[in-house]
């Protein structure tokens, strides 16, 4: 295929708009047509929503379609599928798996969740105990176990799942990666009520869940290696989202400072300036990270940006509550609900303060990410690991 530039992509967008006018085309039909035209994620291969074009040119497509009033695929709602499942399936999936899963994932017809964390493993994900045992008569895998902190499990049609397939080898080597049907009768989703009052997360119980071998991603026992691709993409998607200046948490605080001079104090002024600069530096660092990502797979640097994101969100939301005083403690839309989206900036300061506490846990705890940055970015010596060569079944639990 001839290399595409911005002009070539604009021409393709115009053809899409002419054939499927947004004003008269059903939203789902338009999104499917966009995918089939290679304008979903332009850096993906032809036939899988892309054109093998440079990733940086996606912004050209998005801007042209937005100007024409075309619908998007509600990326925040399907963020787990877009940011974690899709790049993993693209890299390790079979042609049949890519053909089956990527199109409905991108259009939002099928929502995805991530079945990784477990109550008994904590931050040591490789210690997971969910078992997948091969049924020799059918070739299927029978999965039993429990997962926890699963965002969107109550909405999801599919899940990316890692499970232990060999307990007789060290913990990192006995894991396999699966695509799990969340409608299987053995899948039970229970809400977890969090500090905000909502049940955004879930615990998921897997009882004799049957997964066809055709839904195994990669080779048996390669699950940990494959999961690293998911986790690195997850950290970039959490901490490296594209934001305008004063986007994210810093925006509401800066607006309150400008619009309500009666709240200002000298002490808070200094802290706000410091956090504004740090937020801007983090935003620009995220832009640089996305440029690196456009050249290949995400690296451990994503752990650094996610670390900064978590710390800044917690410090900024704390400053906002102090700035607003008693008003900052109000939480007008406290409700016991099951949200589809996490919205940091469209809610009260009290919500932001509470929800930001989870930023240093989700997507890898800050303590674990500090180790990753130390070892893989700074090249510092790794911490001693006494369980490195011990079979999983022999580990103390």
Q: Where does 217-265 have alpha helices with state H? A: 223-239, 250-259
CA 187/CA 285 separation, integer angstroms = 40
Spatial CA neighbour of 387 closest among 377, 378, 397: 397
β pairing state of 141-147 and 131-134 = antiparallel
Q: Where does the chain have alpha helices with state H? A: 6-19, 27-36, 58-67, 79-80, 86-92, 95-107, 223-239, 250-259, 266-293, 301-324, 349-355, 366-372
Let me know if 234 is a catalytic residue.
yes
Active-site residue, from 200, 234, 301, 320 = 234
Per the listing, tokens 């406290």 go with 334
Instruction: Name, in order, each residue with C-beta under 8 angstroms of 310's C-beta and a sequence gap of 6 or more.
Output: 239, 356, 359, 360, 366
Q: Which two tokens stand for residue 43?
A: 């850096």
Asked if 90 contacts 102 with a C-beta cutoff of 8 angstroms, the reply is: yes
Q: State whether residue 162 is helix, strand or coil.
A: strand
Q: What is the dihedral of CA 270, 272, 278, 283, to 10 degrees?
A: -150
Burial of 47 (0-12, 13-18, 19+ CB in 10 A): middle
Which helix (H) or strand (E) is 178 found in, with range? Answer: strand 175-181
The distance in angstroms from the start CA to the end CA of the chain is 54
Task: Measure CA 202 to chain center.
Answer: 16
Catalytic positions, written as ranges: 234
């Amino acid at each position: 295929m001839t290399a595409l530039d911005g002009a070539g992509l604009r021409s393709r967008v115009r053809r899409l708009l002419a054939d499927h006018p947004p004003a008269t085309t059903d939203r789902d039909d338009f999104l499917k047509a966009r995918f089939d035209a290679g304008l979903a994620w332009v850096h993906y291969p032809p036939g899988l929503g892309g054109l093998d074009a440079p990733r940086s040119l996606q912004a050209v497509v998005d801007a042209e379609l937005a100007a024409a009033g075309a619908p998007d695929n509600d990326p925040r709602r399907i963020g787990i599928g877009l940011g974690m499942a899709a790049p993993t399936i693209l890299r390790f999936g079979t042609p049949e798996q890519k053909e089956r899963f990527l199109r409905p994932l991108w259009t939002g017809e099928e929502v995805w969740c991530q079945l990784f964390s477990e109550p008994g493993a904590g931050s040591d994900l490789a210690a997971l105990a969910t078992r997948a045992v091969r049924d020799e008569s059918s070739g299927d895998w029978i999965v039993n176990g429990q997962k926890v902190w699963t965002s969107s499990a109550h909405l999801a049609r599919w899940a990316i799942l890692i499970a232990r397939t060999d307990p007789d080898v060290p913990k990192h080597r006995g894991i396999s990666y699966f695509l799990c049907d969340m409608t299987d009768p053995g899948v039970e989703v229970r809400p977890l009520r969090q500090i905000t009052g909502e049940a955004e997360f879930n615990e998921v119980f897997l009882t004799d869940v049957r997964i066809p071998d055709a839904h195994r991603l990669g080779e048996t026992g390669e699950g940990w290696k494959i999961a690293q691709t998911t986790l690195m993409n997850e950290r970039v998607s959490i901490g490296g989202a594209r934001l305008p200046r004063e986007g994210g948490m810093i925006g509401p605080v800066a607006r309150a400072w400008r619009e309500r001079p009666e709240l200002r104090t000298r002490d808070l002024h200094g802290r706000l300036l410091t956090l504004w600069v740090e937020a801007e530096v983090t935003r620009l660092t995220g832009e640089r990270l996305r440029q690196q990502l456009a050249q290949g797979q995400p690296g451990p640097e994503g752990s650094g940006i996610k670390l900064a994101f978590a710390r800044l969100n917690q410090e900024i939301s704390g400053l906002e509550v102090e700035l607003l005083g008693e008003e900052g403690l109000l939480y007008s839309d406290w409700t016991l609900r099951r949200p589809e989206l996490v919205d940091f900036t469209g809610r009260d300061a009290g919500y932001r303060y509470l929800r930001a506490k989870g930023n240093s846990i989700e997507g890898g705890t800050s303590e674990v990410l500090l180790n990753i940055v130390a070892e893989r970015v700074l090249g510092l010596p790794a911490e001693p690991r006494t369980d490195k060569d011990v079979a999983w079944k022999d580990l103390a639990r």
